[in-house]
Amino acid sequence: MENQENKRSGEGLQLRRSFGMKESVTITVGQVIGVGLFVTGANVVGLMGNHIILVTIAALLITIYPSLLYAEMGSAVPYSGGTYLYALLGLSKPMGFLAGWNYIIAIISVASSEAFAFTFYFKTMFSAFGIELPVSDVVLACLCILVFTVMNVRGVEMTGRMSNAFMFFFWGVAIIWFIMMIPNINLPHFVQKPSFMTEGPQSFIANVAMVWWCFAGFEACCSMSEEIKYPHINIPRAMALSPFIILAVNLFFQWYLVGIVPTGNLDKLAVATAPYAEAMMTAGILGIPLALLAAGIAFGGGLSTMNSCITTPPRTLFAMARDGMLPQVFTKIHPKYKTPYVSILFLGVIALLLTMTNSVQYVASLSLFADLFFYVIGIISAAGMRKKHPDIHRPYKAPAAGIGIPVSAVIYIIMMTQLGFSAIISGVVWAVFGMVLYFGYRKYKGVEADEETKLVVEILEEPTTEERRKMDQEYKLWRNIVIIAVILSIALYVFPYFVA
């Protein structure tokens, strides 16, 4: 890689560190709370009934250790790129490119899917009162993509504020909805085993793989490490909190699905395109409660995820171009907003094209395969970085890597085998196209052989004593809230067994 030290630390290519821990968490969780929770995860409720808690906890368990690996890598190498950069340093340039290439399409595909999710639930807000909006789903979804692309060009401060606003709006609406729905909860549903539930290890693994998609994106803030203040402190903290926040959110919403839908009708959710709306209509709950739910999902869940998904992939594209893997036009930084605006606009166009296919199923299948592919590369990269760069200062180090890394990689490979044929084919075609592009560009540039990737990590600024005190207080507050939320979400499933 030619003169990578200067590229990493060069004045003209340096991004602005503006995010704190709160923004790191909200961007990460915001990228996750969306189409997975409100579609895929809810579909599994229609397959598992009250046993959904076991599947969701299993999905958490196979997420925890990879999140620790990303906390280690993100805090040690606090630059844009995420999995792409870690594979570049720990494995090889082709594997780094493949990781970044799959990450980009996985997350941009989610942005496209979220645009459709927003569109459906936005329309549901009106249909709850018998009003049908005369607007095409594709037009409304494309408009969302366009607006968020422009907003992201205008700066990460605005992006961070939007993430915070969407997340807090989501929880505000969710709490009101939770309270309104309590009278409609039937506790006997939680002790009744659905007659349609399929048992066996293969079925369980397949369902875990589907629910795991609700956790995919848990490392989102690592792709924006270069824009996070005090990343050696904030990234490990965000990685520690995010998986458990995702768990609590999923369990709370799944609990309401089980509670309001008669056990014999839960199987309708397995094939519903909008399971939460289907659940409320099946239970006969319309009007304000349905409109409130739709508003929370559309604006708090859909737009939050879309915002994060349009924010993070351009930083990976920026990093790949900065490292000479792609044309240098993608390294251009806006002179006023200090954002990689060419990368943002280019991927915004890709998201628009995916949205114009009007095929949520195709876009989702492409995303899921690419997700698992780049996570396998990222997990293995952690071992490679320890071997190739043992002297890099690691503010945080994941424990038991000799066991955790290979076990995590094998688990994720097994989940890839649970995908449908179309998902695998689409993912392979995208990967092959990426490698053709990579080697074609190298040939065009006249690159004959790979040089060993070099890295010079800047000396990170330490917070002042007062800043550190405030950071510690903020983290302790978030940690305590997350602990309470996790305990409460699990207790909700246990409590009915004592009163039934």
pLDDT at position 9 is 42
Percent of the chain with pLDDT over 70: 88
pLDDT above 60 (res 6): no
pLDDT one-digit tens code per residue, 318-334: 877 887 888 888 888 88
- The pTM for the full model equals 0.79
pLDDT at position 55 is 92
pLDDT one-digit tens code per residue, 435-453: 888 888 888 877 655 555 6
Report the amino acid identity of residue 91: L
pLDDT above 50 (res 147): yes
Of 164-178, 238-252, 337-351, 479-493, give the lowest mean pLDDT range: 164-178
Of 17-26, 63-72, 253-262, 449-458, give the lowest mean pLDDT range: 449-458
pLDDT at position 2 is 39
pLDDT above 90 (res 70): yes
Of 201-205, 222-226, 337-341, 445-449, give the lowest mean pLDDT range: 445-449
pLDDT at position 500 is 61
pLDDT at position 10 is 42
Report the amino acid identity of residue 484: I
Cα–Cα distance between 442 and 424 in angstroms, integer?
A: 27
pLDDT above 80 (res 119): yes
At residue 228, φ and ψ (nearest 5 deg) are -105, 130
Average pLDDT for residues 186-193, to the nearest whole number?
82
Cα–Cα distance between 189 and 79 in angstroms, integer?
A: 48
Cα torsion 474, 477, 481, 486: sign: positive
pLDDT above 70 (res 339): yes
pLDDT above 90 (res 58): yes
Going by C-alpha positions, the residue among 154, 150, 159 that lies closest to residue 19 is: 159
Locate tokens 């990426």: which residue?
A: 434
Q: 456 vs 189, which has greater pLDDT? A: 189
What does the radius of gyration of the chain's CA atoms come to, in whole angstroms? 22
pLDDT above 90 (res 485): yes
Average pLDDT for residues 124-137, to the nearest whole number?
82
pLDDT above 60 (res 11): no
Going by C-alpha positions, the residue among 301, 379, 315, 344 that lies closest to residue 26 is: 301
pLDDT at position 263 is 83
pLDDT at position 216 is 83
> Cα(first)–Cα(last) distance of the chain, in Å?
65
Average pLDDT for residues 483-489, to the nearest whole number?
95
Considering all CA atoms of the chain, what is the largest pairwise distance in Å, rounded to the nearest integer? 72
pLDDT above 60 (res 167): yes
Locate tokens 């092959």: which residue?
A: 432
Percent of the chain with pLDDT over 90: 18
pLDDT at position 453 is 60
pLDDT above 50 (res 127): yes
Report the amino acid identity of residue 209: A
Q: What average pLDDT does the chain have?
A: 82
Cα torsion 387, 390, 392, 395: sign: positive
| Burial 283-309, CB ≥16 within 10 A → b, else e | bebeeebbbbbbbbbbbbbbbbbbbbb
pLDDT at position 50 is 85
Locate tokens 């503006």: which residue?
A: 18
pLDDT at position 7 is 43
pLDDT band at residue 13 under the 50/70/90 scheme: low
pLDDT one-digit tens code per residue, 347-378: 999 899 888 887 776 777 778 788 888 899 99
How many residues does this entry show for the chain? 500
pLDDT at position 487 is 96
Cα–Cα distance between 104 and 373 in angstroms, integer?
A: 12
Of 35-49, 223-237, 309-323, 449-463, give the lowest mean pLDDT range: 449-463
Q: 150 vs 423, which has greater pLDDT? A: 150
pLDDT at position 456 is 59
Contact of 131 with 119, CB cutoff 8 Å: no
pLDDT band at residue 479 under the 50/70/90 scheme: very high
- SS (HEC) of the chain: CCCHHHHHHCHHHCCCCCECHHHHHHHHHHHHCCHHHHHHHHHHHHHHHHHHHHHHHHHHHHHHHHHHHHHHHHHHCCCCCCHHHHHHHHCCHHHHHHHHHHHHHHHHHHHHHHHHHHHHHHHHHHHCCCCCCCCCHHHHHHHHHHHHHHHHHCCHHHHHHHHHHHHHHHHHHHHHHHHHHHHHCCHHHHHCCCCCCCCCHHHHHHHHHHHHCCCCCCCHHHHHHHHECCHHHHHHHHHHHHHHHHHHHHHHHHHHHHHHCCHHHHHHHHHCCCHHHHHHHHCCCCCHHHHHHHHHHHHHHHHHHHHHHHHCHHHHHHHHHHCCCCCHHHHCCCCCCCCCHHHHHHHHHHHHHHHHCCCHHHHHHHHHHHHHHHHHHHHHHHHHHHHHCCCCCCCCCCCCHHHHHHHHHHHHHHHHCCCCHHHHHHHHHHHHHHHHHHHHHHHHHCCCCCCCCCCCCCCCCCCCHHHHHHHHHHHHHHHHHHHHHHHHHHHHHHHHHHHC
pLDDT one-digit tens code per residue, 82-110: 888 899 889 988 898 898 889 888 888 88
Report the amino acid identity of residue 331: T
Of 30-39, 186-195, 269-278, 291-300, give the lowest mean pLDDT range: 30-39
Cα–Cα distance between 131 and 471 in angstroms, integer?
A: 47
Q: 410 vs 133, which has greater pLDDT? A: 410
pLDDT at position 199 is 66
pLDDT at position 71 is 93
